[in-house]
Amino acid sequence: MNASPPMYDVVGKRLNRLDGAGKVTGAAVYASDFSLPGMLHGRILRSPHPHAKIMRLDATAARKLPGVRAIVTGASQKLNRFGNFIKDFEVFATDRVYHIGQAIAGVAADSEYAAEQALKAIEVEYEPLPAVFDAIDALAQDAALVHPEWQNLKAAPIINRDGNRCGRTVIKFGDVEQGFRDSYRVYEHVFRTSPVHAGYTEPRVAVAQWSGPDQATVWCNAPLLFDTQSALAEIFGLPASHIRVVVPGIGGGFGGKLRLGMEHYAMALARAAKRPVRVMSTSEEELTAALFRQPATIELKTGVDREGRIVAKKGRIVVDSGACSGSGPLVASTATMILAGPYRIPNAEIEGVAVYTNNHPNGSVRAPSGPMPNFATESQMDMIAEDLGLDPLEIRMRNILREGDIAVNGQKMTSVGLAECLEKAAACIDWSQRKPEQSRGKGLACGWWMTSRGSSGAYLKLMQDGTLTMMVGVVEMGTGALTGAAQVVAEEMGMQLFDINVVSADSLTTPYDFGSQGSRTMFAVANASREAARDLLTKMRTRAAKALGADEGALEMREKAFWNGEKKITFAELAAQANAAVGGLIAEATYIAPAVEHGAARVQNHFSPSWPSPSFHVHATDVSVDEVLGEVTINRYVVAQDVGYAINPTYLEGQLEGGAVQGVGQALFEEIIMVNGQVQNGNLTDYKMPTSMDVPPIEVILVTHPSVAGPYGAKGVGEPPSIQPPAAVANAVAAACGKRIMQLPITAEKILMD
């Protein structure tokens, strides 16, 4: 057991959010609220074909309609291809379309109605081309190529690609075939998962305005404003400094807004119309043309000894990137670590493959690489345990990584709280009674996740009233991450939380940040801000000592003042003096998580070969399965997560509860149903997400094994709670009714099917 954490004045406390009042009163401005005088409304014409040549595009009639101010096509503006790892996206299709929903043209008009009428008046003729919709089929040598010109597309050097394969990562060490020969038993299974939507409330939206031929500002709900700035600069052939990106506020993202959504369309239309333009996706577009979680096929072969200890593991996960690579190569790469699991494995060969199809491009959804391989790994662990007559908890305890162990990437494990998470989660649902009654059973699943790298910067300025302004380039996603970072600064400065004023998310005025992603926001921003606070305090102490005629070491800091005996100088007085003498008291710092040593020979073409400050987690659940209807009822659900240190326990609990509910949605309900590239359930009636009636209150256990690198020992938190639910629920369902479901979601039809 880890020791009790130390007590502090501000960190570790359940303090109210800095942005809470604005959000509960409705005063907060989200990107979807933002408007400008004279703003036009933009709409996008999308392809009805999965793969086709554009034979003719005529917008003549549309341009003549009342209220239409601009129409943009692939031929009317020079817009460069873009993409995170492969330049395979077009803003507007030029000579062919690669998927249903691909943008063909954009319209800017005085009203949404006028824009809609203009879309209907644009004439397009297509010549259909062969298409491929299954990722496994797309890997066949005779499969139709989604991008026949794939070799001409610019790509990052790390990308291993060939034809429809747009990314491949391998982790390999030991002798896996000999390991299988040495095993007592070998198990082979295939699992499948479906595409799901990120489930944010606010649609993707952008307002763009040009202030000259080469200067533009975009107001949007992009979590990665600097990545967005760079992508827009690439598309429009401008220096990044000529594009300002501002994020007023985000109404949920969960990874689904990480990549360009409406920003490029808004900029192109605003340039053509010479007026500000807003483009906002409709609810139908969100469920037919958003960036979904990739569907995946997972092949897993595991050999164990008589006691259930893993001897060898071989696995492959194939993710469907859709018609453009998007996040696919990264997702497939990171998934290899999850497919291996947080286990000791002496021999392994794990492969992650991203594949082009003519389905809609997919993207990143909370813990983008997590739920799919974890569903396979943790389901198979239960299947092995059942076959060997072992308790599923015991087989995990025999295999999990512990302090000092070497993980599959060759990294030495430190600060490992997994055993404690397993013990506490199992105890919470009374694991000793795994099947308390007929058609009722309990299941659990464990896993690990990284705290992503990427740099953060922070500026601090002591204000004339003695408060502090903290400027950061990251976006508050609704998690309370910036409140947590402000708590760290307040602790360092001897202030109260509401003495910290946070300014964020403006590419022109705030420092660079890698962005709100990868469970890193509070971790990285707080580390940068903490260093800046220490630098600022040094400057303040020097000036205070001079003002009080004392040695710096003799000063005591309390009550927002420096004291020398009975004499003091307040922070406000220091700020006033510094403002007059040297232009103020300011400090800045940057932070990037240090690289972690790993076995370089073990990994090939890996985006995240080492995991800084990994977190560990266990989900346990008690479910009932209706024998007649096949419906699953969750009676209890428990999340135990090693968070390192809880900067603000309330917001961590909120993250764990929300992530678990989101994961339950993927486990039991959510699925984008696609037939030949066409979404069949593109509305919130047919696309089922969990409600409060579907999930019980989530019970949260915070386990604290402090990270060496994290602020006050904190680890990343935001993504992991969405990883384990599918496997935990699948294992509980199998315990309740004896039916092992190998494909998500776990529906009544699959449970009742012979």
Number of Cβ atoms within 10 Å of the Cβ of 545: 18
Kindly tell me the number of DSSP H helices and DSSP E strands found in the chain. Answer: 18, 29
Mean pLDDT of 336-365: 97
pLDDT band at 7 (very low <50, low <70, confident <90, very high): confident
| Residue 5, pLDDT score | 63
Contact criterion met (CB below 8 Å) for 642 and 423 = no
pLDDT band at 1 (very low <50, low <70, confident <90, very high): very low
Q: State the chain's mean pLDDT as an integer.
A: 96
Strand stretches in 202-347, DSSP E: 205-212, 215-220, 243-246, 277-280, 296-304, 310-322
Instruction: For the chain, give every residue range classified as CATH 3.90.1170.50.
Output: 34-129+201-252+257-288
Interval 245-284: pLDDT, tens: 999 999 999 999 999 999 999 999 999 999 999 999 999 9
Interval 293-305: pLDDT, tens: 999 999 999 999 9
Residue 623 above 90 pLDDT?
Answer: yes
Which has more confidence, 207 or 684?
207
- The percent of residues above 90 in pLDDT, for the chain, comes to 97
Q: How far is it, in rounded angstroms, from Cα 323 to Cα 348?
A: 31
Mean pLDDT of 50-54: 98
Longest dimension (CA), the chain: 86
In the CATH hierarchy, which fold is given to the domain comprising 20-29+454-591?
Aldehyde Oxidoreductase; domain 4 (3.30.365)
Residue 611 above 80 pLDDT?
Answer: yes
Contact criterion met (CB below 8 Å) for 299 and 316 = yes
Interval 321-341: pLDDT, tens: 999 999 999 999 999 999 999
Instruction: For the chain, give every residue range classified as CATH 3.30.365.10.
Output: 20-29+454-591, 296-452+598-752
At position 193, the amino acid (one-letter code) is: T
Residue 362 above 50 pLDDT?
Answer: yes
Q: How far is it, in rounded angstroms, from Cα 656 to Cα 358?
A: 35
3-state helix, strand, coil in the chain (%, to 5): 30, 25, 45
At position 695, the amino acid (one-letter code) is: V
Interval 540-568: pLDDT, tens: 999 999 999 999 999 999 999 999 999 99
Residue 478 above 60 pLDDT?
Answer: yes
Burial of 299 (0-12, 13-18, 19+ CB in 10 A): middle
Indicate the pTM of the whole model.
0.96
Strand stretches in 82-122, DSSP E: 96-97, 103-109
| Residue 6, pLDDT score | 73
Q: Which residue has the tokens 């507007």?
A: 92
Residue 463's alpha-carbon distances to 128, 305, 491, 546, 578, in angstroms, are 64, 65, 17, 20, 10
Residue 676 above 60 pLDDT?
Answer: yes
Of 471, 46, 79, nearest to 282 by C-alpha is: 46
Mean pLDDT of 377-393: 98
| Residue 4, pLDDT score | 64
Q: How far is it, in rounded angstroms, from Cα 711 to Cα 119?
A: 52
Burial of 506 (0-12, 13-18, 19+ CB in 10 A): middle
| Residue 2, pLDDT score | 56
At position 693, the amino acid (one-letter code) is: M
Residue 53 above 70 pLDDT?
Answer: yes
Interval 150-160: pLDDT, tens: 999 999 999 99
Length of the chain: 754
Q: CATH second-level architecture of 34-129+201-252+257-288?
A: Alpha-Beta Complex (3.90)
**To 10 degrees, the CA torsion angle through 499, 219, 81, 605?**
20
296-452+598-752: CATH number: 3.30.365.10
Residue 681 above 80 pLDDT?
Answer: yes
At position 740, the amino acid (one-letter code) is: R
pLDDT band at 581 (very low <50, low <70, confident <90, very high): very high
Q: Before 745, cis peptide (omega within 30)?
A: yes
At position 440, the amino acid (one-letter code) is: R
Residue 143 above 60 pLDDT?
Answer: yes
Mean pLDDT of 515-539: 96
